[in-house]
């Protein structure tokens, strides 16, 4: 499944509910899922971690849908040619630098 496939699936499944909730409400659900992922990383088993990663990605796709942002295009534009900081693959930025 590609990012575009995921966005289409999430839109087809939840778009009406997502539009009613709006960006702010959707962002709060996204943050809750990030918290659940943090807990799973600290003490969950592999299956719990996998499912929390899936939930975070689904809620990120939901946010992107609410704002009509194509995640596939955004990722390709930012990371498609390597590190956005040094333009290298692998990244050669100093460890203290972002990314």
State how many domains the chain has: 1
CATH code of 28's domain = 1.10.287.1080
Round to whole Å and give the CA distance between 1 and 82. 22
Output the pLDDT for position 99. 62
Q: Looking at the domain assignment, is residue 49 inside a domain? A: yes
pLDDT in tens, 24-66: 999 999 999 999 999 999 999 999 999 999 999 999 999 999 9
Contacts of 99 (CB under 8 A, 6+ apart): 83, 84, 85, 91, 93
CA–CA distance, 50 with 41 (Å, rounded to integer): 10
Of the candidates 90, 86, 55, 60, the one whose C-alpha atom is nearest the C-alpha of residue 75 is: 60
> Looking at the whole model, is its pTM more than 0.85?
yes
Q: Does 77 map to a domain? A: no
Confirm whether 97 is domain-assigned: no
For residue 89, tell me if it sits in a domain. Answer: no
User: Tokens 């592999």 sit at which residue?
Assistant: 46
Is residue 51 one of the residues assigned to a domain? yes
- Specify if 60 maps to a domain: yes
Q: How far apart are CA 57 and CA 64, in angstroms?
A: 10
In a domain, 43, yes or no: yes
The range of the structural domain enclosing residue 7 comes to: 3-68
The answer to whether residue 12 is domain-embedded is yes
């Amino acid at each position: 499944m590609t990012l575009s496939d995921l966005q289409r699936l999430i839109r087809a499944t939840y778009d009406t509910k997502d539009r009613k909730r709006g960006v702010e409400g959707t962002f709060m659900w996204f943050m809750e899922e990030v918290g659940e992922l943090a807990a799973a990383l600290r003490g969950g088993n592999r299956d719990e971690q996998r499912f929390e990663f899936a939930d975070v990605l689904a809620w990120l796709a939901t946010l992107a849908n609410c704002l009509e942002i194509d995640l596939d295009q955004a990722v390709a534009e930012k990371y498609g040619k390597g590190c956005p900081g040094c333009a290298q693959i692998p990244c050669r930025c100093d460890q203290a630098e972002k990314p």
